[in-house]
Amino acid sequence: MKQLAYYPGCTLYTKSKNLDLCARESAQILGFELKELETWNCCGAIYSTVQDDIANQVAPIRNLIEAQKISNKLVTLCAACYNVLKRSNNYLLHKDNEIYRKRINNFLETEYDGKTEVVHYLETLKYDIGFETLKLKVKKNLNGLKVGSYYGCLMLRPSEELNFDDPDNPMMMDDMFSALGATAVDFPFKGECCGGYVLVNKPEVATKCSQTILESLVSAGAECVATTCPLCQYNIDNQQKLMSKQFNLPIFYFTQLLSLALGVDEKILNLNNHYIDPKPLLKQKGLI
């Protein structure tokens, strides 16, 4: 079984265990193993764009170095980790940053040259496994489930650096859901920001951002939503209780629905870890 270095990140070990566990289980079924880094530390959760801010680059780069012990690819799940790790690697490789590259390497006592390729789990599914192969592994077809794929900012932008998908019309997650038999709902706010960490100092602003996204999803006919980021999930799920409109829209991690389709035990999905209960919808569709 092919082993790929895997970086879970802080939130996947606590609040979002189901995002992590579902991904590991699904990987086993699809024929690869997410091999967690032996030691890892928090990536910092947000990338610093300030040119001389090398202190914030050290933590993510330590993880990139650690990955080399397992594979040249480092798989991530959380959109924030993906963004930070990939951009830190780019920072190190940038021609103008040679002096910083030396300084960071001196500090870490390494000779790291930026060889680790940071990929998202979705990219592994698309490019290494292939959605056609994924289709053959489906045990429980998600037929009839209308899913809105919400990518958020951190997977898509800056597109020049991340090169993940079209920043204005991403399709990777939609294509995965089509392979699982679900109906991928197209809506214009796929890459709109949920408000992110602004939640901490101005919750009313973040909630308004999230509400705009939910309005767009509902008017496009989505019955549920899939995300890749624990903070997006929290903002558009839990913050529904503070919104001026009632949406009652269940918000999943994409790996939960992937696991459901691949026949993973329902306990691992942890469907109780939601503010809007997704079970009635899944029962109605005959999926649980």
Partner 1 sequence: MIANDNIKQDIEQLSGQKLSDCYQCGACTAGCPTAFAMDPVPSQSIRLLQLGRYDEILNAPGIWLCAACNVCGERCPRGVDYGKIADTLRTIVLRNKITHVTLEQVDNKFILDAPQQAFIAAFRKFTT
Q: Which of 2, 3, 28, 49 binds partner 1 (CB under 8 A)?
A: 49
Between 9 and 148, name the residue whose CB sits nearer to partner 1: 9
Q: Which of 5, 6, 8, 16 binds partner 1 (CB under 8 A)?
A: 16
Stretch that binds partner 1, among 10-18, 119-127, 140-148, 218-226 (CB under 8 A): 10-18
Between 107 and 197, name the residue whose CB sits nearer to partner 1: 197
User: Is-contact 23 36, C-beta < 8 A?
Assistant: no
Does residue number 277 form part of the binding site for partner 1 (CB under 8 A)? no
Q: Residue 154: which of 82, 251, 231, 63 has the closest Cα?
A: 82
Does residue number 61 form part of the binding site for partner 1 (CB under 8 A)? no
Distances (CA, A) of 131 to 53, 125, 127, 147, 252: 40, 7, 8, 17, 20
Between 108 and 205, name the residue whose CB sits nearer to partner 1: 205
Does residue number 22 form part of the binding site for partner 1 (CB under 8 A)? no
Does residue number 103 form part of the binding site for partner 1 (CB under 8 A)? no
Q: Residue 176: which of 234, 230, 127, 233 has the closest Cα?
A: 127
- Three-class secondary structure of residue 131 per DSSP: helix
Strand residue runs (E) in 12-153: 32-36, 73-76, 117-120, 146-149
Token match 């900012």: residue? 153
Binding site for partner 1 (CB under 8 A): 9-11, 14-16, 42, 44-53, 56, 78, 80, 153, 157-159, 167, 192-193, 195-203, 205-206, 208-209, 212, 230-231, 233-234, 238
